[in-house]
Structure formats: structure tokens, C-alpha cells
Amino acid sequence: MTAKTQLLKVSDTGIRFGGLKAVAGVNLELKKGELVGLIGPNGAGKTTFFNLLTGVYVPTEGTIELDGEKLNGLQPYKITKKGISRTFQNIRLFDELSVLDNVKVAYHSLVNHSMLSSIFRLPSHFSGEREMEEKAIEFLKIFNLDQYMHEKAKNLPYGQKRRLEIARALAAKPKLLLLDEPAAGMNPQETEELMNLIALIRNKFELSILLIEHDMLLVMGVCERIYVLDHGQLIAEGNPEQIRNNPKVIEAYLGEEVS
Amino acid sequence: MAVNIFKNARGFWTSIVLAVIFGVIMQFLITGGTLNAFYVNTLFFIGINIILAVSLHLIIGITGQFSIGHAGFLAVGAYASAIITMKLQLPFWLGIMTGGVAAAIAGLIIGIPTLRLKGDYLAIATLGFGEIVRIVFLNMDYVGGASGMTVSHLTTWPWLFGCVLLTILVIVNFTNSTYGRACISIRENEIAADAMGINTTYYKVTAFVIGSFFAGIAGALYAHNFYIIQPTNFGFLKSFDILIFVVLGGLGSMSGAMIAAIFLTIISTFLQSYPEVRMVIYSLVLIIMMIYRPQGLLGTREITSFLKAGKSAKGGVNSDSKNTVA
Amino acid sequence: MEIIQQLVNGVSLGSIYALIALGYTMVYGIVKLINFAHGDVFMVGAFIGFYSITVFDLGFFPALLISMTACAVLGVLIERIAYKPLRNATRIAALITAIGVSLFIEYGTIFVRGAQPEAYPGNIIPAKSIEILGVKISTQSLLILGTSLFLMVLLQFIVHKTKIGKAMRAVSHDMDAARLMGINVNNTISATFAIGSALAGAAGVIFGVYYTKIEPLMGIIPGLKAFVAAVLGGIGIIPGAMAGGLLLGVIESLVSAAGFSLWRDGVAFVVLILILIFRPAGLFGKNIREKV
């Protein structure tokens, strides 16, 4: 690892729902260009942690900083504009919109033409929309989704839906991409394709990725560093080799398969 | 999904020219006496109902915000415009503008707090708002209270047609732009829209305000099409009448809402002397429709997509099992 | 003393709201549907009570029982015919159906018997009044309060102490899990509709006795207000509906007492919007967020 600058800094962050501490005292750092895994048994608080990062929940303790800017308390859409974008464990696409339009929605915050220019169909509307469309099509080509461009998102096969969700998240031009179990429900071949895709994304878009995954093979294979969450607290951090041999991790996963 | 005729500048202008030609022909038919008073009257009702249907379609069909107090905005527009023309003796065009703007302001005031609510709660809150508006006018002596307010007949075909055209143009253009897509993304999955950088509150309120504005314009035309307006004209049943256009036509389909508005207006003029029969039929149609074809006549599709049969056949394997009200 | 007099009126009115609100809250708790037709079941209950008293010459309690039974059947029919096919449909579709059923009952009633109002005979309950500490309380008010309270206690008993009550609580908590545990979900939902509708029927008869005038569209406003009461108390929470109903009745009476009787109908909706904005889970509810 060459020395890189820091991107995300999470300090002592947590949230309690009533009396229940769902996540507590998490310290986590991500450097630019890093691909980091976040693993843990079911109910460890991984998705809750993502929800804290993206503003769906507001942390009740600690601070979250991206590029030195504090994100606590910002609404989700503002955090997306600051540079964190995500996918969801249970895919959330815009089902009735076409594949192309799904990506265009992510470009929305980057448009220049005003609402009035669209309503009165001024020239800036046409040029703005055309530019958006060209960009989106080019983007879909990278993901081999351009063939489904005009298909409604809900009609895509499962694997392609996951792919589209990642594409859409990337279209929002994030500095940090959060992937929530991207391989869930995929067969081994699809998982392998996905691993290649994630590697490609990171090189091509020069961003950092934080990955929640159950598939150990995938996490151990692509991640440089791994954090392990259990009962809402970090219990280990290290490279795949260290994590594999960490007794605490083995204990947390006891009964579950650690490959 | 979208009405594609306005996709490029030429299609846009052709549609406008065709519409204007239609309007002029109708004007000749009306002034020439080819259409008798009954037909003209029905035509005016159709026009007003189209504006109402299309404006509510933007809120429910496009943005997915289930508002059932649309008659409240109709009432605000009707009373505001009537105050301008009758109390202040100002010209009709100013009355129409004021009606729209007053309703838009009402939409803004009611939309900001209530649009944070979801589904059922929003429905009930908007319904409550509609009732409050009615009760306010009922208690305002300035506008005649329960006995209502007399209004001159000023709504003419050019005004009506112009407003219908403007409503359709603005809402179609809004829908088929990045702003409309932002609204649709909220309807489809609000959490994902938020995660994609869409300011969901802003766009929900925007759609609500635009919808209210046109409902207010419809109110101005409605008020000046009668000789009297009373709070009872704007009760829950009126909201329901508008709602049924949008639902029957297909949530998300503007042409569907328009067709339903035209069709149901014609039916109700024939059933005018039997209001309870009309309501029994309406309610049965609604129940049966929801059980057997909950997506409405056209679903989210537009009538134009049926004209381009070849293209729509390709995406026609839609299993219309829509369980996505987040 | 005037204030206390108004409070008594408010509590009487509120107990009617509470009885209707219970049905809303139970149904919402179990199938997450605002049963718009509930206010119309209340209206049907009032009419059945009226005909039982005038045509069959029955007293208050027999009429009450007949009305409750008939409304229970009506409630189950509505559920089986209109709502059951939509159990997996979108919320909007279910809501629209409920509005459709409501209109169907209202205008079906007008179609069958006309829109003219009826008046409950005044001699069903001896009109005496008792003076307690300078406040006149009519026997009518006492009977209404007594009946309502009895029904609410009975409901609490059913929900907490009987098998069907346990099933109802299980289904409202998690329908699929309840089904896996061998609970007959369909019957449980029907039972919920039956109980809720019976309470609405009782409220109809009580309303008729207290306010005399009944007509086919009488269910709309009390129905909406009872819904407000249910939201006020926290929808899905049975004690919340009772408290919400009583509170709303008292608020309305106080507004009338303050000289704003024309605004009385508006107050409920103002309360609704305020509660939705500031405490959408209701006074007794807990905030629940959508799972992401």
C-alpha cells in the first residue's frame, strides 16, 4: 500500500434506538482508492452503519467526516452530493422507469438547465437533456447494460438489476461507493463477474469502496482491508490474512462457515 | 412511459399548432350555433375536468403522493378569482391568475408540513385540509357563507381552451424532463431517490404546488361558468370525482386521466337527474376496477404508446404485479 | 358550572367517537387499511336501530343488540367481498376500494330508501335528569356513557383474555408468523371486522337516541372524526382510540362553548393535521421508521 490521503473518517460513531445500542463506538478510516470490506454475522449492525454513513439515520454519538467535512445530520440527498453513494441490500431500482432513465435520475443533481427552461422547452432544455442522455448511454456501455437501455428496470433479470443498481450509484459521481451485499442471491459465476466488475470500477473511476458482504470468498478475494462488526461494535481490523486467523472473528462466526 | 411527441422541438410545435387549429374550429362551431347549449355546457365541464384530472395526475400519478383534498384547491381558486372579478371589479384574466396563484400558495402552505407524511396519513391530512377550506369559506361572511356568492358568467371557450392547453403543455413538459424523472423516482422508490441525490421534499412540494396552481385555475373557470358558488360545491365528493379520473385512467398515465375525465363527464351529464345512481355506478366501477385491474385502464402507459404498437409489443411481457408502494 | 356541563356533553359525544374509532384502529392494526366504509357501517347501524324501535316496537337494548349483530355481518361481508381480494395489492388500491365501498353504502342506501332523514322517537329512554353538584346530567347521557364504557371494557376483555383476541394481536403483530403458528388469519381478520363493525353499529344506535336525527350521509363526518380520534390516540392502539375519541369530543364541546360552534367541524381536522405533523404516531404510539 502506498501512502494515500484519507477520505472517510468515522470516530466513535453509534446510534441507539430507544435503549438499544444498534451500533456503538465505531472507529473506521478509509483512504482514497481503498477497497475495504465490512463483515459480521447477521444482525451485527452492518446495514445500520451504512444508514448512518448515508444519512438515513442520524448518529446519536460520534462524528463522520468525508474529506474533512462533517456529515452528521445532513439529509441523505445532501450526503450523496458530497460524494457518498450506495446500493441497497434489497435492490431498490425505479421499477417503472427505463434502464436509461434510472441512470439519468442519478445525473439529476448535475444538470444545468432550469425547471422553467424545461416547462417552456427552451433550447437549454434540449441541449441539457441530450447531453444527459449521451452521458448515460456511454455509461451503460461500460456495464454492458446498453442493450437493455429502453427496457423497464423491473423487467431485467436479477443479476442485471444488481449491476444496474451499481451503475446508477456510480453515475452520481461518488468519491466513496457503499455496496450492501452486492453478491446476495447470485450464483458463483455471477459472483465472479461481479468481483471483476468491482475491480474494474475501482480502477476506472478512481474511488474508494466500502463493501458489506456475506460471501467470504468475495470479501477475502478483493478487499485490501477488512473490518469486522459484531453486536454493533468493531471487533477486528486487518488484512484478509489477519482476519482469517483472528480468534475473535472466528468466535463471532462460530457455527457460521468461515472459508 | 412518457408522451414522446414532445421529445424534440419540432414535435412540440406541431402539437401546439394542431391543438390551436382544433380550438379555432370549435370556436366557430360554438359561435355559429352548430353546437347547442347542452353540448357547449358539457364541453366546458369536460375542459374544467381535464384541467383538474391532469393537475391531480401530476401529484398522484407522477409523484406518487396520494392527495384526496384536491377540491380544496379548486375552492381556493374559485373564491379567490370571484373576489377579484366580483368584489374588486377587476378583469377576468387577473381573476384566473389570482385563482391559480392563491391555490398554489395554499398548496405550498399545506404541502410543506404534510408531504413529510406517507401514504394513508398524507391522504387523510389532505382530506382534512379540503374540509378545513370548505369550513373556512362557510364561515366567511365576506364571500356569502353558506348561501354562497354570485358570480358573472365570464368563462368563454377561448379562455377555457387556452387554460386546458397551457395545463397540458406545462405538465407534459415538466413530466418529460429531468425534473419529472426526479418526481417519478420518488414515486417508484423514495429512499433510493433520496440516495441518488434527489431532494425528495423539494420535488414533492414542487409537484404539489404546480398541481394546486392548475386546480386553482380550474377553480376560476369553474366559478365563472356558474352563477353562484357555494362551499357545498367543494366537499369531499368533489375531491373524489377528481380522484376517480386519475385512478380510472391509470395512475401515472396522463392521457388515461384525460380520457377518464372526458368519458365520466359525459356519463354524469346524462345521469344528472339521478345523482344517487351515478354514485352507485361510480363506486361499483371503482371497487371492481381495483380488484380486477388496479393499475387503471392504461396503467402507467400513455395512449401514444398504443399507437406505436410495434415498439410497445416488445416491452409487453410486463407482469403487472406492482407491489412497490414504499 | 357551564364548563362542567360542556365537559359532560363532550364526554358523551366523545364516547360515540371512541366507539367508532375502535373499529378504525382495530382494522388498521390488523390489515393496515383505513376502512373508509366504517363511518357508513355506523350509519347503517343507526338505521337498523331505528327500524327495530319503530317498526318492531323494541326497546333500546334489543335494538342495540340487533343493530350490532347486523353490522357485524355487514362488516364481514365488506371485508370478504371488497377487501380480501386486495390484501396483497398496493396501499393506494386498497384505500381507493375503501372509498368506493363507502360511497356504495351511502348512495345505495339513498337509492333504496331515499335521502330523507328520520327521527328517533323521544321516549325510548325516560328523559329524567339527575343533578350532581349543580350539573344536570340526563339519564340519556348516563346510559350512553354506561353502554359505551361497558362495550369498551368488553372489548378489552375480548382482546386480552380470549383466544380470538390473542389471535388478533398475533396477526396484527406479524401476519405471516401468525399463519405459520397455525392461526387462521382469514377468520381472525373477519372477526376483527365483525367486532369493529358491531361497535360502530352500537355507536349508531346511541347516536340516534342522543341526537335524534339520522340520514344516509350521517356517517361521513362522525366517521372522519372518529378516524381523527384514532390517529390522535395512535392508530392501531385500542386504549389510544378510546382516549382519542373522548379527547376529541371534549375539545369540540369546549370550542362550541367558547362561541365558535360553526367552526366545530373544522377543529377536528386542525387537530388531525397538527398531530400528524408533530406526533404522527399519535399520543400513545411509538415512532417506527421504514426499514432500509
Tell if the CB–CB gap between B136 and C266 is shorter than 8 Å: yes
Tell if the CB–CB gap between B322 and C90 is shorter than 8 Å: yes
H or E element, residue A195: helix A188-205
Q: How confident is the model over A66-92, as pLDDT tens digits?
A: 988 899 889 999 999 999 999 998 899
d(CA B212, CA B61): 14
Q: Is C288 on the interface with A (CB under 8 A)?
A: no
Q: Is B22 on the interface with C (CB under 8 A)?
A: no
Q: From the CA atom positions of chain B, what is the Rg in Å?
A: 19
Arithmetic mean of pLDDT over chain A: 87
d(CA C265, CA B6): 46
d(CA A194, CA B94): 61
Rounded mean pLDDT of C217-234?
Answer: 90
State the pLDDT at residue A254. Answer: 62
CA dihedral A181, A183, A184, A189 (to 10 degrees): -170
Most A CBs within 10 Å: which of B8, B12, B167, B178, as the mutation test of the A interface?
Answer: B178
- Candidate from B68, B276, B290 with C-beta closest to C111: B276
d(CA B291, CA B300): 17
Q: How many other CB atoms are there within 10 angstroms of residue B147's CB atom? A: 10
State the pLDDT at residue B314. Answer: 34
Q: How confident is the model over A198-221, as pLDDT tens digits?
A: 888 888 888 899 999 877 777 888
CA dihedral C211, C216, C217, C220 (to 10 degrees): 80
Cα B46 to Cα A81, B161, B275: the distances in Å are: 44, 11, 18
Across B137-141, B155-159, C104-108, C133-137, least confident range: C133-137
Among chain A residues, the shortest Cα distance to B13 is held by A121
Please report where in the chains the cell 446498453 appears, as a residue. A146
**Chain A residues in contact with chain B using a Cβ-Cβ cutoff of 8 Å:** 54, 56, 75-77, 80-81, 85-86, 88, 92-98, 101, 104-109, 111, 113, 115, 118-121, 125-126, 128-129, 132, 150-152, 154-155, 168-169, 172
Most B CBs within 10 Å: which of A52, A57, A98, A118, as the mutation test of the B interface?
Answer: A118
Among chain B residues, the shortest Cα distance to C112 is held by B276
State the pLDDT at residue B326. Answer: 30
C89 contacts on B by Cβ (under 8 Å) = 290, 294
Nearest to A217 by CA among A39, A55, A72: A39
State the pLDDT at residue A111. Answer: 85
A178 contacts on C by Cβ (under 8 Å) = none
Residue C122 lies in a domain: no
H or E element, residue A179: strand A176-180
Q: Given a contact as 3+ CB pairs under 8 Å, which chains touch B?
A: A, C
Q: Is C292 on the interface with A (CB under 8 A)?
A: yes
Among chain B residues, the shortest Cα distance to C114 is held by B276
Nearest to C206 by CA among C189, C222, C224, C228: C222
User: pTM for this one?
Assistant: 0.88
Tell if the CB–CB gap between B300 and A96 is shorter than 8 Å: yes
B220, amino acid identity? A
C292 contacts on A by Cβ (under 8 Å) = 47, 51, 56, 88
State the pLDDT at residue B275. Answer: 82
Cα A86 to Cα A89, A156, B271, B276, C98: the distances in Å are: 10, 20, 54, 53, 38
Which CATH number do you get for residue C92? 1.10.3470
- Candidate from B196, B252, B300 with C-beta closest to A105: B196
Across A51-55, A75-79, B84-88, C286-290, least confident range: C286-290
For B70-117, give the secondary structure using H, E and C.
Answer: HHHHHHHHHHHHHHHHHHCCCCHHHHHHHHHHHHHHHHHHHHHHHCCC
State the pLDDT at residue A97. Answer: 93
Q: At A209, is the secondary structure helix, strand, or coil? A: strand
pLDDT at A149 over 60: yes
pLDDT band at B315 (very low <50, low <70, confident <90, very high): very low
pLDDT at B94 over 80: yes
Q: How confident is the model over B32-51, as pLDDT tens digits?
A: 878 888 888 899 999 999 99
Nearest to B196 by CA among A106, A63, A7, C184: A106
| Nine-digit cell string for A17 | 434506538
Residue C289 lies in a domain: no
Residue C120 lies in a domain: no
Into which CATH architecture does domain A1-83+174-259 fall? 3-Layer(aba) Sandwich (3.40)
Q: Given a contact as 3+ CB pairs under 8 Å, which chains touch C?
A: A, B
Q: Could you give phi then psi for residue A232, rounded to 5 degrees?
A: 80, 5
Q: Is B317 on the interface with A (CB under 8 A)?
A: yes
Q: Strands, DSSP E only, in chain C?
A: 118-119, 129-132, 135-138, 213-214
pLDDT band at B316 (very low <50, low <70, confident <90, very high): very low
pLDDT band at B318 (very low <50, low <70, confident <90, very high): very low
User: Measured between CA atoms, how close is A53 to chain B, in angstroms?
Assistant: 11
pLDDT at A255 over 60: no
d(CA C222, CA C102): 13
Buried b (16+ CB within 10 A) or exposed e, A5-34: eebbbbeebbbeeeeebbbbebebbbbebb
pLDDT band at B7 (very low <50, low <70, confident <90, very high): low
Among chain A residues, the shortest Cα distance to C290 is held by A56
Q: How confident is the model over B264-304, as pLDDT tens digits?
A: 999 888 888 888 888 898 889 888 888 888 777 777 788 77
DSSP H helices in C174-263 = 175-180, 185-211, 220-233, 238-257
CATH 3.40.50.300 occupies which residues in chain A? Answer: 1-83+174-259
Q: How confident is the model over C154-163, as pLDDT tens digits?
A: 998 998 899 9
State the pLDDT at residue B27. Answer: 87
Q: How confident is the model over A176-191, as pLDDT tens digits?
A: 999 999 888 888 888 8
Tell if the CB–CB gap between A152 and B196 is shorter than 8 Å: no
Tell if the CB–CB gap between C265 and B135 is shorter than 8 Å: yes
Among chain A residues, the shortest Cα distance to C286 is held by A18
CB A176 within 8 A of CB A209: yes
User: Measured between CA atoms, how close is B192 to chain A, in angstroms?
Assistant: 6
Residue C123 lies in a domain: no
Q: How confident is the model over C28-80, as pLDDT tens digits?
A: 888 888 898 999 999 999 999 999 999 998 888 999 999 999 999 999 999 99
| Nine-digit cell string for A85 | 453513494
pLDDT at B320 over 80: no
A121 contacts on B by Cβ (under 8 Å) = 6, 9, 12, 173
A90 contacts on B by Cβ (under 8 Å) = none
Under DSSP, the state recorded for A98 is B
Buried b (16+ CB within 10 A) or exposed e, C232-251: bbbbbbbebbbbbbbbbbbb
DSSP H helices in chain B = 9-31, 37-57, 70-82, 92-114, 119-138, 157-175, 178-188, 190-195, 200-223, 236-249, 254-270, 275-292, 303-307, 309-314
d(CA B175, CA B58): 8
Tell if the CB–CB gap between A85 and B196 is shorter than 8 Å: yes
CB B261 within 8 A of CB B53: yes
User: Measured between CA atoms, how close is B4 to chain C, in angstroms?
Assistant: 27
Tell if the CB–CB gap between B286 and C273 is shorter than 8 Å: no
pLDDT at B4 over 60: no
Cα C263 to Cα A142, C21, C229, C254, C256: the distances in Å are: 63, 22, 17, 11, 8
State the pLDDT at residue C288. Answer: 54
Question: Chain B, 142-181: which have a CB under 8 Å from a chain C CB?
Answer: none
pLDDT at B308 over 60: no
| Nine-digit cell string for B100 | 391559480
State the pLDDT at residue C224. Answer: 87
Tell if the CB–CB gap between B280 and C107 is shorter than 8 Å: yes
A56 contacts on C by Cβ (under 8 Å) = 292
Identify the domain containing residue C168 by its residue range.
Answer: 2-114+133-278
Q: Could you give phi then psi for residue C280, rounded to 5 degrees?
A: -60, -20
Among chain A residues, the shortest Cα distance to B188 is held by A94
CB A96 within 8 A of CB B1: yes
Residue C126 lies in a domain: no
Tell if the CB–CB gap between B325 and C34 is shorter than 8 Å: no
CB B5 within 8 A of CB B15: yes
Residue C285 lies in a domain: no
Rounded mean pLDDT of B73-97?
Answer: 94
Highest mean pLDDT among A216-225, A236-245, B218-227 belongs to B218-227
B8 contacts on A by Cβ (under 8 Å) = 126
Tell if the CB–CB gap between A115 and B179 is shorter than 8 Å: yes
The total domain count for chain C is 1
Buried b (16+ CB within 10 A) or exposed e, C51-80: ebbeeeebebeebbbbbbebbbebbbebbe
Rounded mean pLDDT of C11-29?
Answer: 91
